[in-house]
Chain A
Amino acid sequence: MNGMNYFPNYYSIEDIFVTQEKVECRVNTKLQRMGFLDSGAESDDLEPGRTVNLPLWYIKELKVNNAYFTVAVPDIYRNVHKAVCEAETTHIELGRLHPYFYEFGRYLTPYDRNHVIGRIIFETLRQRVRHLLDISKSDGQAAKAEHRLDNIEAKLHEAGVRTNCQYIEWLQMTGNKIRTSELVEEHQKKRRRADRSDDEGDALPSSKRATL
Chain B
Amino acid sequence: MDPAIIEFIGEKCMISIIPNFSNEPLHLIYGSVGPFRAGFPVFVPLWMATHLRKQQKCRIVPPEWMDMDILEEIKEEEKRSKFFTKMPCEHYMVVAQLVMSTAPDDVPRCEELRTVIKDIFDIRESKLRTSIDAFIKGEGTYAKLDNLTLLEIHSVRPILPYSLDHIARYQRTATASQRDTSMLSASMTGSSSGPNSNSLFSQ
Contact = CB atoms under 8 A, between A and B. Distances in A.
Interface of A: 4-6, 64, 102, 105-106, 109-110, 112-113, 115, 118-119, 121-122, 125-126, 129-130, 132-134, 136, 152, 156, 159-160, 163-164, 166-167, 169-171, 173, 175-176
A129 B163 CA distance: 7
B51 interface: no
Contact of B174 (A122, A159, A160): A122
Interface stretch (B42-50, B61-69, B130-138): B130-138
Contact of B197 (A115, A170, A173): A115
5 contacts: A106-B173, A109-B173, A110-B180, A118-B178, A173-B101
B191 interface: no
A112 B177 contact: yes
A28 B167 CA distance: 35
A170 to B, nearest CB: 3
Interface of B: 2-4, 7, 97, 101, 129, 132-133, 136-137, 139, 151, 154-160, 162-163, 165-167, 169-171, 173-175, 177-178, 180-181, 195, 197, 200
B162 A159 contact: yes
A6 B166 CA distance: 8
A7 B174 CA distance: 17
B170 A122 contact: yes
Contacts of A105: 170
B159 A170 contact: no
Contact of B132 (A106, A133, A173): A133
Contact of A163 (B132, B157, B174, B177): B157
A125 B164 CA distance: 10
A106 B170 contact: yes
A167 B195 CA distance: 47
Contacts of A64: 180
Contacts of A136: 159
A187 to B, nearest CB: 28
A130 B154 contact: no
A163 B170 contact: no
Contacts of A134: 129
Given A130-B133, A159-B162, A173-B101, A122 B167 contact: yes
Interface centre among A115, A134, A167 (most CB of B within 10 A): A115
Nearest to B4: A176
Which are the 10 A-B pairs with shortest beta-carbon distances? Answer: A118-B174, A170-B3, A4-B162, A160-B159, A122-B170, A129-B163, A109-B177, A159-B159, A110-B177, A121-B170
Contact of B170 (A118, A156, A166, A171): A118
A102 B155 contact: no
Contacts of A169: 3
Contacts of B158: 4-5, 159, 163
Given A106-B173, A115-B197, A125 B97 contact: no
B166 A133 contact: no
Contacts of A156: 159, 162-163, 166
Contacts of A173: 97, 101
Contact of B165 (A5, A119, A170): A5
A119 B133 contact: no
Nearest to A102: B170
Nearest to A131: B133
Nearest to A152: B166
Contacts of B181: 113, 115
A94 to B, nearest CB: 13
A6 B132 CA distance: 21
Given A163-B158, A166-B2, A115 B174 contact: yes
Central interface residue in A122, A126, A156, by most chain B CB within 10 Å: A122
